[in-house]
């Protein structure tokens, strides 16, 4: 059978999923022919290792009219027996057999203050419709957690039998650890990722201020490419004169490994997640994780994180402080973290995904 995989997210912040899935699918004996669709700029990032896998440039941008028209035309010409969309954004009128990965419903519920509010509100209404349309028209859906599976069922009304949970997995960074000069010898807590509203970074910064009363030398490192939202947050921090909040900007893989290995705690203050992969990656590198207790995070981290209420600043500060000050708790989190990471496997995710393909193709 001919299977097409929409891998346009390959080089984005969420691309770890689709790139890891494709590479693991290559290792499995399936007998199928796979076509992997990539943005033209990403064509050099993927070199098929299996002769049954080919790559094709797909210039049709997500959230565009061209996606609905040009991308649909490209898919029609490929005559695939099955198309796997790794995200909800897709040609909603494509009539072939489809599997869709629904990461979460965060974009349905949260606004993006860096966008024009009226334009964003209109697009959000369209996105809500797309989620429901795609959920109903797809032959099967994939989610990363049971929490999101149940959320999708409640939001879209589809049967839970239609959804398969295929958890993500954490990779250990292979690059040599690269020290961040200004943090060598310092005690710091950290967060790496985008600063979208549901990530709840302002609350983390306010909790950090409370924590400074008992930990005056502590630093907070916020890592990630500096976009308009990060710049807004940094301007507020500067205006308030909050000391020791470091906006590192983009960090290399080697720097990220060093940060994981040397932080006093990795903190996830999120109000909503579809999986929470960075926390699992932090555990893989021996970082104790202090996490919000919201949505799917307790499901993913189990007993390997110390949890707080993400809307209670005092609770956030207290739980972080407990991990910093209690060596036994800290070591327990590190040990449990390594065990938790071992529960997840990209190979298993690929096997479970292939099983969904085969079930649909046999029907």
CA distances for 106 relative to 64, 103, 229, angstroms = 20, 9, 17
- In tens, the pLDDT along 282-338 reads 999 999 999 999 999 999 999 999 999 999 999 999 999 999 999 999 999 999 999
Whether 157 and 196 share a structural domain: no
- Between CA 266 and CA 334 the distance in angstroms is 11
What is the mean pLDDT of the segment spanning 203-212? 98
- Between CA 68 and CA 272 the distance in angstroms is 29
The total of structural domains in the chain comes to 2
Whether 301 and 208 share a structural domain: yes
For residue 10, is it within any domain? yes
- In tens, the pLDDT along 84-118 reads 999 999 999 999 999 999 999 998 998 877 788 88
- In tens, the pLDDT along 229-254 reads 999 999 999 999 999 999 999 999 99
What is the mean pLDDT of the segment spanning 63-74? 95
Is residue 23 within 8 Å of residue 45, measured between CB atoms?
Answer: no
For the entire predicted model, the pTM comes to 0.95
Whether 322 and 357 share a structural domain: no
For residue 176, is it within any domain? no
Give the range of the structural domain holding residue 255, as residue numbers without chain letter: 181-341
Whether 337 and 203 share a structural domain: yes
The residues facing 33 across adjacent strands are: 2
Whether 267 and 317 share a structural domain: yes
CATH number, domain of 62, equals 3.40.50.2000
């Amino acid at each position: 059978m001919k299977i097409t995989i929409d891998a346009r997210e390959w080089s984005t912040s969420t691309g770890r999923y689709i790139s890891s899935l494709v590479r693991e699918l290559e290792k499995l004996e399936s007998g199928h022919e796979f076509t992997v669709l990539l943005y033209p700029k990403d064509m050099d990032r993927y070199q098929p290792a299996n002769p049954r896998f080919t790559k094709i440039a797909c210039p049709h941008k997500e959230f565009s009219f061209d996606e609905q028209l040009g991308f649909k035309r490209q898919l029609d010409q490929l005559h695939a027996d099955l198309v796997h969309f790794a995200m909800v954004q897709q040609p909603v009128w494509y009539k072939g057999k489809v599997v869709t990965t629904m990461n979460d419903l965060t974009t349905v519920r949260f606004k993006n203050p860096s966008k024009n509010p009226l334009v964003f509100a209109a697009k959000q209404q369209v996105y809500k419709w797309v989620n429901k349309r795609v959920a109903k028209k797809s032959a099967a859906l994939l989610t990363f957690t049971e929490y999101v599976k149940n959320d999708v069922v409640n939001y879209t009304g589809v049967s839970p039998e239609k959804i398969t949970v295929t958890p993500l997995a954490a990779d250990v960074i292979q690059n040599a650890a690269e020290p961040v000069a200004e943090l060598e010898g310092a005690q710091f807590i950290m967060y790496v990722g985008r600063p979208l509203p549901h990530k709840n970074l302002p609350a983390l910064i306010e909790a950090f201020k409370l924590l400074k009363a008992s930990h005056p030398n502590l630093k907070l490192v916020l890592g990630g490419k500096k976009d308009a939202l990060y710049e807004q947050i940094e301007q507020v921090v500067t205006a308030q004169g909050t000391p020791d909040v470091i906006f590192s900007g983009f960090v290399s893989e080697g720097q990220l490994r060093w940060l994981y290995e040397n932080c006093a705690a990795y903190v996830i203050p999120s109000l909503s997640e579809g999986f929470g992969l960075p926390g699992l990656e932090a555990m893989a590198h021996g970082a104790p994780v202090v996490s919000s207790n919201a949505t799917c995070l307790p499901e993913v981290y189990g007993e390997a994180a110390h949890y707080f209420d993400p809307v209670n600043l005092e609770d956030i500060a207290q739980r972080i402080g407990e991990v910093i000050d209690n060596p036994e708790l800290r070591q327990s989190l590190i040990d449990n973290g390594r065990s938790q990471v071992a529960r997840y496997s990209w190979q298993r995710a690929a096997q479970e995904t292939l099983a969904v393909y085969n079930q649909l193709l046999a029907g």
